[in-house]
Amino acid sequence: MSGFRPSVEAAIPALRRYARALTHDAELADDLVQDTLVRALRSEHLFHGGDVRSWLYTILTNLNRNRLRSLARRPTHTSIEDNDAPDTAGPEAGGRDIERALASLVDDQRVALLLVVLEGLTYREVAEIQGVPIGTVMSRLARARIQIKTYLDGARPSLRRVK
């Protein structure tokens, strides 16, 4: 276990990148990473080998999920300025469209997509992090990709009729 702390330290940049992609807020992301590191170092005795990075992603994902649950219980406040800004055109607009498309995804789909695309994890690693079968990860990724493509193409996503 002597390599545990250096492995944790080496994973910090990737954790920060993933947290920023999840939260869209640098300060909140840094707080989330710090909480992840504190929890990981306190729980070092619970780590029984394997990939430290996947273990850290699991902790960060669970902390973010808890944060979102806590926020869901509070009333939401929308700033007037958020909706008053006109849509921008030009090269920077494409990045905002992708951000909006990602924000429109269900949390589980967004997390799976970010872990695979942004962090380069395998489907199996994402399945372990999310605590679901690998087929569920594949389904979440497929749905996320379809929804993002639909969003970027400007079409409304079609709804399935359930009997």
pLDDT in tens, 36-66: 999 999 988 888 878 899 899 999 999 998 8
Q: What is the mean pLDDT of the chain?
A: 82
Chain segment 12-44, per-residue pLDDT in tens: 999 999 999 888 889 999 999 999 999 999 988
- List the structure tokens of 45: 């005795």
125 vs 104: CA distance, rounded Å: 24
Q: What is the model's pTM?
A: 0.64
Compute the C-alpha angle 157/160/112, nearest 5°: 60
pLDDT value, residue 89: 46
Chain segment 105-129, per-residue pLDDT in tens: 888 898 899 899 888 889 999 998 8
Which residue matches tokens 């273990």? Answer: 55
User: Would the pLDDT of 93 be above 90?
Assistant: no
51 vs 28: CA distance, rounded Å: 25
Percent pLDDT > 70 in the chain is 80
- Residue spans of beta strands (DSSP E) within 106-161: none
User: Would the pLDDT of 67 be above 70?
Assistant: yes
* One-letter-per-residue 3-state SS of the chain: CCCHHHHHHHCHHHHHHHHHHHHCCHHHHHHHHHHHHHHHHHCHHHCCCCCHHHHHHHHHHHHHHHHHHHHHCCCCCCCHHHHHCCCCCCHHHHHHHHHHHHHCCCHHHHHHHHHHHHCCCCHHHHHHHHCCCHHHHHHHHHHHHHHHHHHHHCCCCCCCCCC
Label residue 155 by pLDDT band (50, 70, 90).
Answer: low
Q: Which residue has the higher pLDDT, 159 or 125?
A: 125
pLDDT value, residue 160: 58
Please report the domains of the chain, with CATH numbers, ordered by start residue. Answer: 1-75 (1.10.1740.10), 92-156 (1.10.10.10)
pLDDT value, residue 159: 57
- Enumerate residues 6+ apart whose C-beta is below 8 A from 39: 59, 63
